[in-house]
Amino acid sequence: MTDISVPCWNDVDIEELCNGVRLIAFDLDNTLARSKKPMKDDMAECFSALTSLIDVAVITGGKYALLKSQVVERLTGQANRSHLHLMPTSGTRYYRWGGSDWAPVFAHDLSADDRAKAYESLERNAREQGIWLTHVWGERIEDRGSQITFSALGQLAPIEAKEAWDPTNEKKNRLARAVAADLPHLEVRPGGASSVDISEKNVDKSFAVRELADILGITVAQIVFVGDRMDPDGNDYPAAKAGTRAVKVTCPNDTVKLCGGIIASLSR
């Protein structure tokens, strides 16, 4: 299948984008907020307002606890939680509001054997490629149950260090290719600024949007997906390939402006 060219947020026709849309889905890091940081006030207000108008999903490579601290705990009084769909660990898990708390709908956890193989391959290949660094912030490899995540600088690395480590994505793309060759039965993809994620085969953001469409009784083509990693090696790109109305942003400030246009269109 040929590559898809995903338009930038300021090149899309908002009215056309919103015509017949049933769900707005977002990546998290560098789309709604900076890596592991909570949404800023303007983003929290726009995001909350959007949930009062339409179903909204967040599909992120991050774990559930981060999704809660970055998004859920920043919701304003305007938010309609029953319209919000949380899909952490690249959509391998799904949570919905149950009236008083968030309840799991499904989880596609890796087997103990696959988790062990993922750990071994990540460490061996990272060492061979010279990116198993001596000094890191926190864990290098994290077991998220349904996903194994390698963070070259550690899970707690400062945002500035993460963003400066691999600006061309070459390092994490190379590591992902090497690990994928070791583990062809699993899904291996570049994650955030300095990470690589491993999950069940074909369980990625394309799986997430298809599952969500099926559960909600809509089509994938009725979903707008907003993300910053829309290049063919990016972890948001599978959602574009699945047939969503994909839109590329470069930072949360772009997303705030895009959301403002979407809210205005949906409110008419």
Query: Which burial class, exposed, middle or buried, applies to 77 when counting CB atoms under 10 A from its CB (0-12, 13-18, 19+)?
Result: exposed
The residue to which tokens 């992120």 are assigned: 60
Is 146 annotated in a binding site? The answer is no
254 carries a ligand binding annotation: no
Q: Is 197 annotated as a binding residue?
A: yes
**Residues facing residue 198 across a β-bridge:** 148, 188
Q: Is 228 annotated as a binding residue?
A: yes
Residues known to be catalytic? 27, 29
195 is in an annotated binding site: yes
Would the annotation count 29 as a binding residue? yes
- Distance, CA of 256 to CA of 162 (rounded, Å): 23
φ/ψ of residue 142, rounded to 5 = -120, 130
Question: Does 143 carry a binding-site annotation?
Answer: no
DSSP state at residue 21:
-
Binding region: 27, 29, 144, 195, 197, 228, 244
Residues forming the annotated binding site for alpha-D-mannose 1-phosphate?
144, 195, 197
- Residues marked as binding for Mg(2+)? 27, 29, 228, 244
